[in-house]
Amino acid sequence: MTTQKTKNMKKKPIKKIILFALLLSAICISCNSKPTEVEICSRTAFMNSMETTQAVLGKRKEVLMLNGRVQSIPSQTINFIPLVSGTVERVFFTLGDRVQRGQNLMSIRSADLNELYSEKISAEAELRIAQREHQSAKALFDDRMLSERELFEAEARVRQAQAALTRIQNTLSIYGVDSQTGLFTIRSPMTGYILNKQALSSGSNVSAESDEPLFTISDLSSVWVMASVHSSHLRYIREGMEAEITTPTFPGEVFPGKINAISRAFDPEERVLKARIVMPNQNLKLKPEMLVEVKLSNQTQEFYIEIPSEALIFDHNRHFVVVKIGDETFENREIVVRNQYNGISFISSGLSENEEVVVENPLLIYQEIRRTR
């Protein structure tokens, strides 16, 4: 790995750099004067204090930056669409509230619910009658006074009555009824956060014909980050890749994740594929619809010369390094940088394996070499 090779790069011990010694030496050279014994000692001390590192050959790493958006996980989200029509009496929550399963969210008056509640009472009565008839039929069948077909019919009537009651109970399960006021209370079907809601207030009408949810509840303990992948990036993307998520909302903070799925079809609107990253979100910093940046790292099979990025010097739109070519001899060398990753620069030309480059104050040495050339 690049980081391991970097750790193994040969370095000389760092000593205190005497900056005036280099300047003094440069003055002597530029004036063509014979350096004194003190100046020679100072120059030697300075040269010995140079920190260099050895260029090594390694596999290049690609860094890909993608745009993404935070989404709630569909399996952990409920859009509450009203099953009955009615009039809102009171709303007990606001946008962003955390609600518990079974918590009262709003109360409504509804003729539909009153009718459904009456149907429930009738269905319960019909089930009791069907059960009694079945018990009687079973007793007669045991006494051989009833055919097996008639017993099966009695059992079928019980099942039908039970199914009708269950259907009504399922519809009413999210409503509570106050027998004194006649109000029905909508209860939260899950524990989570209110992500959006209609502008509901006392007197608002809700309709069973509407496809718009009254509110949305989602468990945000984990979320999805959907990264946009253009066709030119497909060869770099694979499931299982480590990802680093950043957002302007929390500058400097990195949220680690991993790609667990890549869509097989392009989004018809954005014309991109979507890479899905599952993110733990216990601190709830990541909110649905938040824009994020996704950083992906990929190790290629291409070998390049690696050096620490601190050795680079950028001058006149070109990159240079200071190369040690003798005990006390250095030269400026123009290089071509292929790309950079995690403090490492990958060099495509201008530098060979095992050559030593200056990593401590390279710009100072570079400028002095240019000045005294």
Helix (H, G, I), strand (E, B) or coil at 367: helix
Q: Give the model's pLDDT for residue 299.
A: 62
**From CA 241, how far away is CA 260, in angstroms rounded?**
8
Q: Give the model's pLDDT for residue 233.
A: 80
In this predicted structure, which of 165-169, 300-304, 330-334 has the lowest mean pLDDT? Answer: 300-304
| Residue 29 confidence (pLDDT) above 50 | no
**From CA 54, how far away is CA 198, in angstroms rounded?**
64
Helix (H, G, I), strand (E, B) or coil at 273: strand
Q: In this prediction, what percent of the chain has a pLDDT beyond 90?
A: 29
In this predicted structure, which of 14-28, 37-51, 93-107, 182-196 has the lowest mean pLDDT? Answer: 14-28
Q: Give the model's pLDDT for residue 30.
A: 42
Q: Which fold has domain 76-218?
A: OB fold (Dihydrolipoamide Acetyltransferase, E2P) (2.40.50)
Residue range 315-369, pLDDT digits in tens:
989 999 999 887 778 899 999 998 787 788 888 889 988 899 999 888 888 888 8
Where exactly does CATH 2.40.420.20 map onto the chain?
Answer: 2-15+48-61+301-372
| Residue 196 confidence (pLDDT) above 70 | yes
CATH of 2-15+48-61+301-372, one of 3.40.50.2300, 1.10.10.10, 2.40.420.20, 3.90.1150.10: 2.40.420.20
| Residue 119 confidence (pLDDT) above 50 | yes
Average pLDDT, the chain: 80
Facing residues of 10 across strands? none
Average pLDDT over residues 162-175: 80
CATH of 64-75+219-299, one of 3.40.50.150, 3.20.20.70, 2.40.30.170, 2.60.40.10: 2.40.30.170
Which residues have CB under 8 Å from 180's CB, separation 6+?
none
Q: Give the model's pLDDT for residue 222.
A: 93
**From CA 213, how far away is CA 235, in angstroms rounded?**
40
Where exactly does CATH 2.40.30.170 map onto the chain?
Answer: 64-75+219-299
Which residues have CB under 8 Å from 139's CB, separation 6+?
none
Where exactly does CATH 2.40.50.100 map onto the chain?
Answer: 76-218
**From CA 368, how far away is CA 373, in angstroms rounded?**
8
Within a 13 Å sphere around the CA of 168, how many CA atoms are in the beta-carbon half?
A: 19
| Residue 227 confidence (pLDDT) above 90 | yes
Average pLDDT over residues 9-27: 39
Average pLDDT over residues 23-31: 43
Check residue 11 and report its DSSP letter.
B
| Residue 234 confidence (pLDDT) above 90 | no
Residue range 240-265, pLDDT digits in tens:
888 999 999 898 899 999 999 998 88
**From CA 332, how far away is CA 366, in angstroms rounded?**
6
